[in-house]
Amino acid sequence: MRHPLHSLLPALCWAFLFLGVCNCLKNADQVRDRITHLPGQPANVEFSHYSGYVTVNETAGRALFYWFIESPASRNPEKRPLILWLNGGPGCSSIAYGAAEEIGPFHIKSDGKTLYLNPYSWNKLANLLFLESPAGVGFSYSNTTSDLNTSGDQRTAEDAYAFLVKWFDRFPQYKYRDFYIAGESYAGHYVPQLSQIVYQRNKGIKNPVINFKGFLVGNAVIDDYHDYIGTFEYWWTHGLISDSTYKYLHIACDSESATHPSSDCIRALSIAEREQGNIDPYSIYTPPCANTSALQHNLRGHYPWMSRAYDPCTERYSQFYFNIPEVQKALHANVTRIPYPWATCSDLVSNYWGDSPVSMLPIYRELIAAGLRIWVFSGDTDSVVPVTATRYSIDALKLPTVANWYPWYDNGKVGGWSQIYKGLTLVTVTGAGHEVPLHRPRQAFILLRSFLENKPLPNA
* 3-state secondary structure (DSSP) of residue 111: coil
The answer to whether 195 touches 365, Cβ cutoff 8 Å, is: no
Which residues, at least 6 apart from 167, have a Cβ–Cβ distance to it below 8 Å? 54, 66, 129
Alpha carbons 80 and 124: distance in angstroms, whole number: 9
Catalytic residue among 382, 383, 393, 450: 382
SS3 content of the chain, % helix, strand, coil (to 5): 40, 20, 40
3-state SS string for 116-178: EECCCCHHHCCEEEEEECCCCCCCCEECCHHHHHCCCHHHHHHHHHHHHHHHHHHCHHHCCCE
Report helix, strand or coil for 435.
coil
Q: Please identify which of the residues 189, 226, 302, 434 carries the catalytic annotation.
A: 434
Q: Is 395 a catalytic residue?
A: no
CA pair distance 179, 83, nearest whole angstrom: 6
For 317, the 3-state DSSP assignment is helix
Decide if 394 contacts 426 (C-beta within 8 A): yes
Estimate to the nearest angstrom the gap between the alpha carbon of 367 and the chain centroid: 19
Q: Which residue is catalytic, options 140, 185, 350, 418?
A: 185
Name 261's Cβ contacts closer than 8 Å, sequence gap at least 6.
253, 269, 304
Active site residue 185: yes
DSSP state of 336: T
Cα 71 to Cα 48: distance, rounded to the nearest angstrom: 8
Q: Please, which residues bridge with residue 51 across strands?
A: 67
Cα distance between residue 160 and residue 191, in whole Å: 10
Does 410 participate in catalysis according to the annotation? no
Give the separation between CA 388 and CA 106, rounded to whole angstroms.
32
The H or E element containing residue 436 is: helix 436-439
Q: Which of 438, 445, 381, 436 is closest to 102 using CA atoms?
A: 438
The residues, ordered by sequence, that sit 6+ positions from 214 with a Cβ below 8 Å of its Cβ are 180, 195, 372, 373, 374, 375
Active site amino acids: 185, 382, 434
